[in-house]
């Protein structure tokens, strides 16, 4: 039984289409939940008046019998790194507090054209530079499962908004795991599609792109619903030229071969290990063929750091020189490290990126899917230094990128689609994520396999502090939409 605010996206879409719920009710439910859970600090800006006006127009369209888009009347949020027409896009940074784009990013425009209603911009660390969602401009975003543990980053506000019922869909970005990390920390689903499948024209270097924009939702079905709206070519994107993606159906008689990457050169938390091993046993029970594989991903950390640090320095160096006091000290430290690299280092990083791609391509010539933990450990304590070293299983595991999320950032470098879905909880009630990776352009197949596994895992937990369900409205929705 659920209130409107707690409905998954596909259920809400069906309820709106059948007039069991109005777009006005859907938007008001999301805005009310945002107000109720203000302590989570998930939003940089809230578009209440605009959202209400669009909801009234959407309701009029429903009542008139006009054709409705697949996301008609559904409230959604956009991470504050992605351009939104008429709504400030600050990059999580005080330096850009007054920056208001003249046009929507491609993904935002497609979501709105499908009927979705923007309710606000969600929090992000400055320019998405770290995996904790906090910064001097807006403070800290809290994980609804535990305020003592990080919600992840850099799409932390987006993940928190979904987990706490502040809209069933969100648009995040992922430059090294920034959709999948907070999805795992907050018990939701997040997809980084194949490079170019969802155009992202804000990257300053489109040819060297490793930053993605993508959907986040409460379940795989909602992720699929939004992905189908966002995908498609754009002639301005060098990787987004294909008019049609190859369609590979996941048939009932098919037995997907899954390469199970339990460790990738890292230390793994025992509870995470137990949870993903159980998930793979469930995959086998479904008829999937699961075999262990080996792949060293931790060794990619220095190459990823070189690309990240030098990019931030090139992009933000003049701003940092002008007003360093307005920037996060961790961002300044990241940029400062960029001064240590030369042109040869940059090319060597690209060589390593190519080699990693070829290794993964070889694995995916033998397997349909790669499965792994999303993170090496559950959500980390919120007061850790995001640039420091961490402990996992009471051992010094190394620096945070190579130790906590070595499973995510390499697939940004190689462009393969990757999805994170929840697969269990720790003894302390913190979410654990499972990552599935697919072949280039087989995003829909990846989502279908994830959906089958999700149904089998039956992850139904909700964040501890989420508002209890209400029976009256739930009866209305279930009777009208199903």
Cα 53 from chain centre: 28
Q: Is 99 a catalytic residue?
A: no
Q: Whose structure tokens read 């879905």?
A: 421
Nearest CA to 26 out of 72, 60, 67 is that of 72
Q: Are 125 and 154 in contact (CB under 8 A)?
A: yes
Please tell me the distance from the alpha carbon of residue 11 to that of residue 2, in angstroms, as a whole number.
11
Which stretch of DSSP H or E encloses residue 443? helix 443-457
Q: Is 275 a catalytic residue?
A: no
3-state secondary structure of 426: coil
Catalytic residue among 154, 221, 372, 451: 154
Nearest CA to 77 out of 87, 64, 65 is that of 87
Pair of tokens at residue 62: 């429903």
Please tell me the distance from the alpha carbon of residue 8 to that of residue 13, in angstroms, as a whole number.
9
3-state secondary structure of 369: strand
3-state secondary structure of 461: coil
76 forms beta bridges with: 118, 169
Query: How many other C-beta atoms can be found within 10 angstroms of the C-beta atom of residue 293?
Result: 16
Q: How far is the CA of 129 from the CAs of 136, 335, 433, in angstroms?
A: 14, 10, 21
Which pLDDT score is estimated for 242?
A: 78
Q: Is 242 a catalytic residue?
A: no
Which pLDDT score is estimated for 254?
A: 78
pTM score, two decimals? 0.95
Catalytic residue among 22, 77, 79, 275: 79
Catalytic residue among 2, 155, 178, 420: 178
Please tell me the distance from the alpha carbon of residue 454 to that of residue 458, in angstroms, as a whole number.
6
Nearest CA to 134 out of 182, 173, 84 is that of 182
Task: Write down all domains in the chain, each with its CATH number in brackets.
Answer: 4-303+336-481 (3.90.1300.10)
Cα dihedral 199, 243, 231, 174 in deg (nearest 10) = -40
Which stretch of DSSP H or E encloses residue 46? strand 43-46
Regions of the chain with pLDDT less than 70: 1-2, 244-247, 249-253, 460-482
Which pLDDT score is estimated for 473?
A: 34
Please tell me the distance from the alpha carbon of residue 258 to that of residue 436, in angstroms, as a whole number.
9
Residues 6+ apart with CB under 8 A from 348: 303
Which pLDDT score is estimated for 429?
A: 95
Which pLDDT score is estimated for 450?
A: 97
Please tell me the distance from the alpha carbon of residue 271 to that of residue 297, in angstroms, as a whole number.
21
Q: Whose structure tokens read 């469930």?
A: 282
Rg (CA), the chain: 21
289 forms beta bridges with: 257
For the packed helices 220-230 and 443-457, what is the interaxial angle rounded to 10 degrees?
160
Which stretch of DSSP H or E encloses residue 435? strand 431-437
Query: How many other C-beta atoms can be found within 10 angstroms of the C-beta atom of residue 271?
Result: 18
Pair of tokens at residue 281: 């046993």
pLDDT tens for residues 279-315? 999 999 999 999 999 999 999 999 999 999 999 999 9
Q: Are 371 and 283 in contact (CB under 8 A)?
A: yes
The H-assigned helical ranges of 90-179 are: 106-113, 156-163
């Amino acid at each position: 039984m659920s209130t409107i605010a707690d409905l998954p996206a596909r259920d809400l879409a069906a309820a709106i289409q059948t007039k069991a719920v109005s777009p006005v009710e859907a938007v008001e439910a999301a805005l009310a939940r945002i107000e109720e859970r203000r302590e989570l600090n998930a939003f940089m800006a809230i578009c209440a008046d605009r959202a209400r006006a669009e909801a009234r127009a959407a309701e009029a369209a429903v009542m008139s019998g006009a054709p409705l888009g697949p996301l008609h009347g559904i409230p959604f949020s956009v991470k504050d790194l992605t351009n939104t027409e008429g709504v400030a896009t600050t990059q999580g940074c005080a330096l850009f507090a007054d920056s208001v784009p003249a046009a929507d990013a491609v993904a935002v425009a497609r979501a709105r054209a499908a009927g979705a209603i923007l309710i606000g911009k969600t929090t992000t660390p400055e320019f998405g530079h770290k995996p904790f969602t906090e910064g001097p401009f807006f403070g800290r975003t809290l994980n609804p499962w535990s305020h003592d543990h990080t919600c992840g980053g850099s799409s932390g506000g987006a993940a928190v908004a979904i987990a706490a019922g502040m809209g069933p869909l969100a648009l995040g970005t992922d430059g090294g795991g920034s959709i999948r990390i907070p999805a795992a920390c907050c018990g939701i689903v997040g997809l980084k599609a194949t490079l170019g499948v969802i155009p992202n024209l804000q990257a300053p270097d489109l040819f060297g792109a490793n930053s993605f924009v993508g959907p986040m939702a409460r379940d795989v079905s909602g992720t699929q619903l939004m992905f189908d709206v966002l995908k498609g070519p754009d002639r301005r994107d060098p990787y987004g030229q294909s008019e049609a993606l190859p369609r590979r159906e996941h048939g009932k008689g098919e037995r997907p071969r899954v390469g199970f990457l339990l460790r990738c050169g890292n230390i793994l938390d025992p509870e995470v290990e137990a949870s993903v091993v159980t998930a793979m046993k469930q995959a086998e029970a479904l008829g999937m063929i699961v075999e262990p594989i080996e792949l060293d991903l931790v060794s990619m950390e220095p190459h990823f750091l070189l690309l990240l640090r030098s990019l931030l320095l090139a992009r933000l160096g003049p701003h940092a020189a002008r007003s360093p006091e307005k920037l996060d000290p961790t961002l300044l430290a990241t940029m400062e490290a960029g001064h240590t690299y030369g042109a040869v280092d940059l090319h060597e990083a690209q060589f390593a990126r190519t080699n990693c791609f070829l290794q993964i391509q070889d694995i995916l010539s033998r397997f349909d899917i790669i499965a792994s933990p999303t993170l090496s450990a559950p959500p980390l304590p919120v007061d850790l230094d995001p640039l420091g070293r961490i402990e996992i299983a009471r051992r010094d595991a190394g620096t945070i990128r190579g130790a906590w999320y070595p499973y995510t950032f390499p697939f940004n470098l190689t462009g393969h689609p990757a999805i994170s879905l929840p697969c269990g909880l720790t003894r302390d009630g913190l979410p654990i994520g499972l990552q599935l990776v697919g072949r280039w352009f087989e995003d829909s197949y990846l989502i279908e396999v994830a959906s089958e596994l999700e149904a089998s895992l039956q992850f139904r937990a909700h964040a501890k502090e989420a508002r209890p369900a209400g029976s009256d409205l739930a009866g209305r929705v279930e009777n009208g939409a199903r």
